[in-house]
Amino acid sequence: MSAPVDPFGLDGRVVVVTGASSGLGTGFARSLGGAGARLVLAARRVERLEAVAAELRDAGVEVATVAADVARPDDCARVAQAAVDAFGRLDGLVNNAGLGGAVPALKETPQGWQDVVGVNLDGVFWTATECARRMADGGAIVNVASVHGHLAPRSFPHAAYAATKSGVLGLTRALAAEWSGRRGIRVNALCPGYFASEMTDAGGEQLASAVVGRTMLGRYGEQHELDGAVRFLLAPASSYVTGTSLTVDGGYSAW
């Protein structure tokens, strides 16, 4: 009798993680590596990226790294090709790279707006398309959006951020419609609420107080509480899930 297949296992699967040099991206890399995935990690901060890769290699994870800015389509192509060059295949993508910022709409600059759109929306599109070109049937893409793709920011002004994350949700549905049936590639979005990270640390006590007051669980989320959702969306357990979004926000959006 053959051993049962773990529906949440990622043994041998090759997964790209963008924005992997810090925050949620580093956490995703650790979790996916621990589940047996072989990883291609991409980010702009090379030294931090290599430090993450060294940690994972010490734990026995197979890792390749690519210095890349996802706002540049050519860099997105290099990231996808690096997976094929290093491991001979590409099975999954966690489209995690993103920019925050808290700028009132009337004070936003053209360059500031373009910087956020270039990473949060353009980068998601170009990375997804370049990875999809190289994926075989059964691939899975997870686009990291935000709870603010569904509802307006309340504590701080985030017009550019909210607009791009809403765009990611529409893009996810459109790509799923194109690729799920024809190419066998599932595309879903993950919508985190507020998790402890560099981005939330920058908000200080003012943000923390607002999050605690609005979130049903009364606290920031912790990395491990998001890792399971990413693994689910990449793994065979979600084989009939595509074109949708999974919100993990401690009840923030349910009030």
245 residue type, one letter: S
Mean pLDDT by runs of 10 across the 255 residues of the chain is: 73 97 96 97 96 98 98 98 98 95 89 96 98 95 96 82 97 98 97 84 76 90 96 97 98 92
Q: Which CATH architecture has domain 14-248?
A: 3-Layer(aba) Sandwich (3.40)
pLDDT score of 217? 95
Active-site residue, 161 included: yes
- Domain range annotation of the chain: 14-248
* pLDDT for 4: 58
Identify the pLDDT of residue 164.
97
| Interatomic CA distance for residues 92 and 102, integer angstroms | 31
